[in-house]
A and B are shown apart, each in its own frame.
Chain A
Amino acid sequence: MNAQQYDRSKVVQIVNSVITKMDSTSGDSLRALSTELQSLGNAIERIKSELAEARTGEVKDQDVPTATEELDAVVTAAKHATDSIMNSCDAISAAVAGTSAEAKVGEETTKIYEACSFQDITGQRIKKVVKVLHEVETKVGQLLHMLGHGDGARKELIARPVEDMRQGDDKLMNGPQLPTNAMSQEEIDKLLSSFD
């Protein structure tokens, strides 16, 4: 059997076995080593216990799917709300058409339309969050699978970044950037004009 295929219980069993053998040998260095190995055994047991308390299985099977559904519901509700707001704008505009209030009302409804674009932006941001949640879901699944194979594998899992599997122009579709990363319209205009 490959060493990485040992489960946690097997590792604990081996460590305890080594400790028992080493306890029968005299010498300070062996006692120190024995203490270290004892700590290792305790650490593994603690990880097992913490994992059980963290209910990682529930995160994968229940929490992430629920959160995703909630976010989808936010998108749907926002869409209905904006549709309703714009319907009212259209009705108001129609009601004042041809009157002295038409220009002023038109100006204000334009501002409302502009503000309604939040639905598109928040929708795209939520899509990104849902994607991250799915990545968390995958990571938790990997964690559950790999933790049985020792602390080294766990460190490897945590250190490994999520690989972007997209190819070509697909890599350019990243949705709205956070304000600190986003280019302003002025910066975009400047960049575009640099091509002329």
Chain B
Amino acid sequence: MSVDKSMQVLVVDDYSTMRRIIRNLLNQIGFINVDEATDGQQALGMCGQKKYGMIISDWNMEPMSGLDLLKGIRGGNNDNKAVPFIMVTAESKTENIIAAKQAGVNNYIVKPFNAETLKGKIAAVLGPLG
């Protein structure tokens, strides 16, 4: 059974260019319902309002980082507590990967990345994209 591509996806990044790139790549894969947030705080607020099928987030943002967003979602009491969460970031040190995993990340993509990598990681998290 393939993934329901009509699901709501939340893209979180402080760079509008990167949000747009990820949105476009998602659209090309078939995900058309894409919301955007500029940092963890805004995203966390949006997670309190809507249930998402997947969150793709940057790490290095202010005032709230992607890691704090992940912790907030996993530790919170909301519909998105178990949402598949992919970190897309330039942070690529071992301690980052470990910290993200411990916080409950489902997959981790290092920037710069290509469409195939994004597609592959989404499939790894959600299942065959069809």
Give A residues with C-beta under 8 Å from B.
Answer: 79, 82-83, 86, 89-90, 106, 109-110, 113-114, 116-121, 123-124, 169, 172-177, 181-185, 188, 191-192, 195
Contact = CB atoms under 8 A, between A and B. Distances in A.
A118 B113 CA distance: 10
B108 interface: yes
Interface of B: 13, 15-18, 20-21, 24-25, 28, 59-60, 65, 67-68, 90-99, 101, 107-115, 117
Contacts of A120: 13, 15, 17-18, 90, 111-112
B67 A83 contact: no
Given A120-B111, A124-B60, A191 B94 contact: yes
A185 B117 contact: yes
Contact of A169 (B21, B65, B110, B112): B65
A176 B90 contact: yes
Contacts of B98: 191
8 contacts: A114-B112, A114-B113, A114-B114, A116-B17, A117-B112, A118-B112, A120-B18, A172-B95
